[in-house]
Copies of this chain bind each other. A is one copy, B any other.
């Protein structure tokens, strides 16, 4: 299907663009009353993720309502460990909670790694197909998965944590098991991303949400190694790597076979560009809290960010998922400001 707006794909590949493309992490869900209505009708977040027609509906909402340059499939990175056999619940104000976790070789029995991804995660793939058809080429559709390190963190720890010390403990006490598990997660993730692309995703993003708990050396050994396998395996569409909090590994991430490197809100664009070089697109990184400002201030802060770009190789986004209590009108101001901005390069 021909895309009427392929701006984000061109920006990812470093091709010519007439303006910077813009979308928001977590744009599908959270802030829109239209999303909350659909979610309430189904019971909750997980039900929505697992019901393709509705997942597709909320995926398209921000394209219609906010005017973003890409849709991202409404789903969760934790569908992967769940498909492996580790079911999770989402507990109000607490986040994800896994009944079973992996602490020893013996615990690997709880998880299955050699299964038919297209069958077991068919609900995500079906949502992508429905979305793709309904979008009718208006904007590209982004698929995604968690980075192996981040999925590993949840599979070991069983829930969110500020330090993921249980996951990090295994690096010291049983590095062999850690690598075995990371390697198995990586294989499933590659299959899963390829299935998303086959179903209609035009680009994919890998989220390493817990990159920040590792030092540079450990990050290279326990995360980059596996991101490299994913980035090299995905040759069909542009790949974005977003490692939150991994400032000191940015240069190394940019050396992987990816198109775009995501920046969190703490990273300075000029410094990031110096570390990443000119051969990768940068994605980000307005502070999500900037959207709590007045409309005039949102416009000013957005223009300041855009002024800090010194090339075409940028995709505009926040530096973190949009926060749930942000006024959608402020998001519209952010998007409008990006769309009105004239690229100088």
Contacts and interface: CB of A to CB of B under 8 A. Distances in A.
A215 interface: yes
Interface in A110-139: none
Given A245-B245, A248-B268, A320-B163, A289 B168 contact: yes
Q: Which of A216, A266, A293, A320 has the most CB of B within 10 A?
A: A266
Given A245-B245, A271-B248, A266 B215 contact: yes
A323 interface: yes
A171 interface: yes
A271 B217 CA distance: 13
A287 B168 contact: yes
Interface string A301-339: 000000000000000000010010000000000000000
Interface of A: 160, 162-163, 165, 168-169, 171-173, 212-218, 245, 247-248, 265-268, 271, 287-290, 292-293, 297, 320, 323
11 contacts: A165-B289, A169-B292, A172-B289, A173-B293, A212-B212, A212-B245, A215-B266, A217-B268, A218-B287, A247-B247, A248-B271
A266 B212 contact: yes
Contacts of A162: 160, 162
A165 B323 contact: yes
> Top 4 nearest A-B pairs by Cβ distance?
A168-B289, A172-B293, A215-B266, A169-B292
A267 B247 CA distance: 11
Contacts of A248: 247, 266-268, 271
A288 B323 contact: no
A247 B211 CA distance: 14
Interface of A is mostly: helix
Nearest to A219: B266
Given A168-B287, A247-B248, A288-B165, A214 B173 contact: no
Given A162-B162, A163-B320, A247-B247, A214 B169 contact: no
B215 A265 contact: yes
Most buried by B among A162, A171, A271, A289: A289
A171 B271 contact: no
Contacts of A214: 266
Contacts of A289: 165, 168-169, 171-172
A342 to B, nearest CB: 25
A173 to B, nearest CB: 5
B172 A297 contact: yes
Contacts of A163: 320, 323
Contacts of A290: 172
Contacts of A165: 288-289, 323
A265 B165 CA distance: 12
A292 B173 CA distance: 7
A266 B169 contact: no
A163 B212 CA distance: 13
